[in-house]
Amino acid sequence: MKHSLRYRRAAAAIVVCCLAGHVHAQGAWKPDKNVEFVVGLTPGSSQDRTARVLQNIAQTKTLLGVNSSVVNRVGGGGNIAWNYLSQHAGDAHWLQIASPTILTNYIIGTANFTYTDFTPLALLGNQYIGLAVRADSPIKDLAGLIAAAKAKPDALNYGDAGGSPYLAAAMLNTTAGVRTTHVAYKGAAEALTEVLGGRLDYAPTSVSSATALLRAGQLRALAVTTSTRNPDFPDVPTVAELLPGYQAITWWGVVGPAGMPPAVTARLNEAIAGAIRDPAVKARLAAVGIDAVTGTPDEFSAFIVSEMQKWAPIVKATMAARRGS
């Protein structure tokens, strides 16, 4: 089993910079070794931009005495990046940012690893998801989307790169009792381009990925999937305002390869928490739509388990509906 999560070693950057003087004393850290922040999605995606923000923060810290790089290993719904991480068991020089995609791929059976096959380090933050249509779409609001989906089951197409947007759409279908057709893409930018071109009816996406297009009037947001409205788009309602109890968020966390020593895991967690408390780091994360939060490795691990329990039945029900079973 491969132990990994596909996301961005990005946060690793924060970890590393606060850490340099601590981990190497335990023999697990080599100051002359390059640090890779691997991104499982395309350049310009929300994950990629987060990785580059965090890498930049790391490289401006004088405590980081090493070179670092962001590497996009795209494909397999993120599995290529996760498998790459799996080749570096126990080595803190390869870290990723985890998101719910690890759960999605495991549930739908496209991953050759389980969500337990990596080392949780710390929760990093949450991010808003929105449901977007082209500005001139005949679908004017969430009620209109649901009505159209009920009128013609499976006729509406939506696209995303997996993870939280996919889960949010799956939960919407389950909660509203509708069926729509999913199309997979390598990144959010591709899906949004397809919406603009009229080849997709809508897209669940991080609000930060769609902000420029929303502000330019090319896209229109039908709703956000969080329990509260997005402060940057206060006129956009939540899904829960129409479907009480609905909530879906993107979460980000820092993970490492399997087999990391507990002392190293503790040090990395300490470094991440320290970075998250830095107002400058919070501001940089907020600029890409992330509300910074953190916690202990055990808390992050328990959170992942709770997310798996929440999403597994929803995803399985959605897959069964598509198979007509």
Q: What angle do CA 278, 280, 285 make, to 5 degrees?
A: 100
Split at pLDDT 50, 70, 90, the class of 291 is confident
Confirm whether 10-126+251-314 and 129-248 share one CATH topology: yes
Rounded Cα–Cα distance for residues 146 and 177 (Å): 9
Per-residue model confidence as pLDDT tens digits over 117-127? 888 988 888 88
Tell me what pLDDT residue 31 has. Answer: 53
Tell me what pLDDT residue 235 has. Answer: 96
What are 188's two structure tokens? 């959010």
Tell me what pLDDT residue 99 has. Answer: 81
Split at pLDDT 50, 70, 90, the class of 59 is low
CATH class given for the domain over 129-248:
alpha beta
What are 307's two structure tokens? 């997310």
Domain ranges of the chain: 10-126+251-314, 129-248
DSSP bridge partners of 269: none
Q: What angle do CA 303, 12, 89 make, to 5 degrees?
A: 80
Rounded Cα–Cα distance for residues 262 and 248 (Å): 32
Per-residue model confidence as pLDDT tens digits over 171-225? 999 999 999 999 988 888 899 999 999 999 999 998 988 999 999 999 999 999 9
Helix (H) or strand (E) holding 35: strand 35-39
Per-residue model confidence as pLDDT tens digits over 7-20? 333 333 334 444 44
Tell me what pLDDT residue 324 has. Answer: 58
Tell me what pLDDT residue 188 has. Answer: 86
Tell me what pLDDT residue 315 has. Answer: 80
Assigned CATH for 10-126+251-314: 3.40.190.150
Angle in degrees, 0-180, between the axes of helices 164-176 and 101-108, rounded to the nearest 10: 60
Rounded Cα–Cα distance for residues 89 and 84 (Å): 10
249-288 per-residue burial string, b: 16 or more CB within 10 A, e: under 16: bbbbbbbbbbebeeebbbbbbbbbbbbbeeeebbebbeeb
